[in-house]
Amino acid sequence: MKKHAPEREPFIEVEDLTKVYGEEPYAVHALKGVSLAIHRGEFLAIMGPSGSGKSTFMHLLGCLDHPTSGKYWLDGNEISEASANERADLRNRMIGFVFQTFNLLSRTSALENVMMPIGYSADSGTESERRQRASELLTRVGLGDRMDHEPSQLSGGQQQRVAIARALINRPQFLLADEPTGNLDSRSSVEILRMFEELNREQGITILLVTHDPGVAEHAKRIIRIRDGVIGSDGAASAASAAAGDGAATGTGGSA
């Protein structure tokens, strides 16, 4: 994998990134040339109507998929030319994921769920150190008294907190969350968003959150709007919400 002077570069840089699913004449051009730089410690929200390419973009940034064309540098590593193994290695070392549907293993305790991604990382320590770290993380997300509970015995907000602890187990520098509050009531949503703000502020974790809810996006410092596979606007959260008067016209409400 190519590397170039990381200290001079943004943490994340994408250049004319495209993603085409399938083959002509049925091809779907999900991303049509996205260029963007993200610095360490940023907290961004990606907004846009359903089908605009938000999850596609997140999958590319999260090294879960590779672009059809364009460049992607993560911490100086050129991901667009990396092999699937190299992508998996970077993903496990650097990135944590949180999804709308929590994606926890059923009939598996909260503690075991949090420990699950550890196996893939090289310096994961002894079994007891791993348990210790998982239980510290569960305590940190307020579930110190729920470690042995299985997902079905937890509320949605509690399940999402388990998922956040799991996302943090390998000490990621980059946290990606796709509609993390989409299945939560407003009180649990606020709790989860405060947790993200704290992780960003206190640990400097770079956070990218996908949402079509303007109230959720306001917790971010920078808002990027995607429309039909291209970036429509990119700016500070306050400026972006002030400019959202045309939200209905641009479909920011989420229904394409």
Interaction partner, residue 133 (Mg ion, ligand ATP, none; CB < 5-8 Å by kind): none
d(CA 179, CA 46): 10
Could you tell me the two tokens for 238? Answer: 């306050």
β-pair partners for 230: 227
| CA angle 242–248–253, rounded 5-degree value | 90
- How many Å apart are CA 150 and CA 226, to the nearest integer? 37
Select from 52, 77, 80, 135 the one that contacts ligand ATP (CB under 6 A): 52
User: Burial, 3: exposed, middle or buried (Cβ in 10 Å; 0-12, 13-18, 19+)?
Assistant: exposed
The reply to whether 76 sits near ligand ATP by the rule CB under 6 A is no
For ligand ATP, the binding residues in 152-171 under the rule CB under 6 A are none
Q: Does 133 contact ligand ATP by CB under 6 A?
A: no
Please identify, using beta-carbon distances, which residue of 50 and 139 lies nearer to Mg ion: 50
229 sits in the region (left: phi over 0; alpha: psi -120 to 50; else beta) called left
> What are 180's two structure tokens?
């993390």
Minimum distance of ligand ATP from residue 62's CB (angstroms): 12
Does residue 250 interact with ligand ATP by CB under 6 A?
no
**What does the alpha-carbon distance between residue 66 and residue 209 come to, in Å, rounded to a whole number?**
20
Q: Which of Mg ion, ligand ATP, none has residue 52 at its interface (CB below 5 to 8 Å by kind)?
A: ligand ATP
67 is an interface residue for ligand ATP by CB under 6 A? no
Q: Which of residues 176-205 bind Mg ion (CB under 5 A)?
A: none
48 binds ligand ATP per the rule CB under 6 A:
yes
Q: Pick out residues in 22-81 that bind Mg ion (CB under 5 A).
A: 55
Give the nearer residue to Mg ion in terms of CB position, either 35 or 101. 101
Residues 17-36 that bind ligand ATP (CB under 6 A): 21-22, 28, 30
C-alpha to C-alpha distance for 23 and 2, rounded to whole angstroms: 29
For residue 173, CA distances in Å to 13, 79, 176, 220, 249 come to 15, 16, 10, 17, 36
By a kind-dependent CB cut-off of 5 to 8 A, residue 51 interacts, out of ligand ATP, Mg ion, none, with: ligand ATP
Total site size for ligand ATP, rule CB under 6 A: 13
The neighbour count for residue 149, using CB atoms within 10 Å, is 16
CA distances to 31, 36, 212, 249 from 216, in Å: 23, 22, 8, 20
104 near ligand ATP, rule: CB under 6 A: no
Which of 14, 42, 55, 87 binds ligand ATP (CB under 6 A)? It is 55
Q: How far is the CB of 204 from Mg ion (least distance, A)?
A: 27
Least spacing, CB of residue 173 vs ligand ATP, in Å? 24
Amino acid making up residue 135:
S
Q: Which residue ranges make up the site for ligand ATP (CB under 6 A)?
A: 21-22, 28, 30, 48, 50-56, 212
